[in-house]
Structure 1
């Protein structure tokens, strides 16, 4: 194992990066954390802005490849470790639906969530990236009704992405706690990888708060 084989994960606890770390654990991937204290504003410092000009996490580096954007990171990592069985192969009929639901997260779910969080009037349906909020969630509910995972009986990296997302969005009331969503999130959050990272995040976040006088 050389240093170039390891994944560098730029990370802050209890953020979107948590799901990426859970995925790395599920994949059995070798990785190193580069932790940013966002409470101290380290994500806005020049050293990190040189890595990601938007000052966001997660970011991964693998050899010469630097990957930003959560959905791209999930696709990249799952493809990098196919032996873990969390990604359909290129010639697998499930590959298209798999990519669809990963892309749906970034292109439809997050824009809808931000509008809801900001209490903004959404764009007209004809101009909205997600149609309308109820339709956006309805598509997910319909897909999960075929469950237990997005691709039926087969768990993929897409489920790590969505299971973690449903967990925190239901916690904050952005997504209604419907039985189908709660049961789906539980399938992911009850797994050992999620439990390990959640415990680690809580400890790390407390350290960051203490360092900032919180």
Structure 2
């Protein structure tokens, strides 16, 4: 295949975000499911992703890891899907995509591990406090129907997946603004397809 896309993933992982993005892009791809443990630490896979984690996207031999990077890469590589930002959307698109990959991911992960940042150390931590992150996330989803403006983009795939999971598993605050925003995304056909395929693979 001259334009081969391979996604290494596991149904119980952040790979679901990459699967959703691929379904939104609408191009053919092959999925390779790796079990946790030895398969993700095997030399052949570590040569692709030294972190020994999923997802990993391989496109014609080029390797992309990290969900936010995969979403951005696919949006730019397949512009016909309309998931990359238009010029006037670029600031918000990059801002919230990287907010999700940085402060939100770190704050939610630390909260899940029971790690609370002491008030006197907040300025030493990139995200400050969990509450500040939730307040900022509420600003992000309340300013316009979608993160970059009035239309759905790759930023909504990445941040939206985190909000959807957070609401499902209780790792983010259950605020009306988050529920309203997630309701706009939850019924997207691409997400339905990605979820169904992951359910079968799991």
TM-score class normalised by the smaller sequence: over 0.9
Q: Who is 1:14 aligned against?
A: 12
Work out the CA distance in 2 between the residues paired with 1:154 and 1:58: 26
Whole-angstrom distance in 1 between the partners of 2:61 and 2:197: 28
Q: How does 1:26-41 map to 2 (within 5 A)?
A: 26-38=24-36, 41=38
Query: For residue 105 of structure 2, what is the aligned residue in structure 1?
Result: 110
Preserved CA contact (<8 Å) 1:14 1:202:
no
Maintained 8 Å contact 2:75/2:154: yes
Cα distance in 1 for residues equivalent to 2:127 and 2:194 = 31
Query: Any stretches of 5+ residues in structure 1 without a counterpart?
Result: 206-214
Aligned-partner SS, 1:164: helix
1:44 maps to which residue? 41
Cα separation, 2, equivalents of 1:59 and 1:15: 12
TM-score, normalised relative to structure 1: 0.88
Secondary structure of 2:146 counterpart:
coil
Counterpart Cα distance in 2 of 1:37 and 1:64: 22
Are the equivalent residues in 2 in contact too, given 1:12–1:57 (CA < 8 A)?
Answer: yes
1:97 equivalent among 92, 95, 102: 92
The higher relative CO (CA closer than 8 Å, separation ≥ 6) is in 2
Structure 1 position 51, deviation (Å): 1.5
Whole-angstrom distance in 1 between the partners of 2:14 and 2:20: 11
Checking the alignment, whether the CA contact within 8 Å between 1:10 and 1:58 is kept in structure 2 is yes
Q: Secondary structure at the match of 1:50?
A: helix
Q: What is the 5 A alignment of 1:160-199?
A: 160-199=157-196
- Stretch deviating more after TM superposition (77-86 or 186-195): 186-195
Runs of 4+ residues deviating >3 angstroms? none
| Correspondence for 1:55 | 52
Instruction: State how far apart, in whole Å, the 1-side matches of 2:181 and 2:3 are.
Output: 33
Structure 2 length normalisation: TM-score?
Answer: 0.93
How big is each residue's C-alpha offset from its partner over 1:72-131, in whole Å with a ceiling of 9 and x where there is no partner? 111111001111111114xx0211221111111111111111110111132612111112
2:33–2:201: 8 Å Cα contact kept in structure 1?
no
Q: How far apart in 2 are the matches of 1:110 and 1:202? A: 24
Q: Which residue does the alignment assign to 1:149?
A: 146
Uncovered stretches (5+) of structure 2, i.e. residues with no partner: none
Please, which moves more after superposition, 132-141 or 182-191? Answer: 182-191
Q: Deviations over 1:3-49 (max 9, x none)?
A: 231211111113101111111111112211111122x6421222222
CA RMSD between the two structures: 1.5
Aligned to 1:208: none
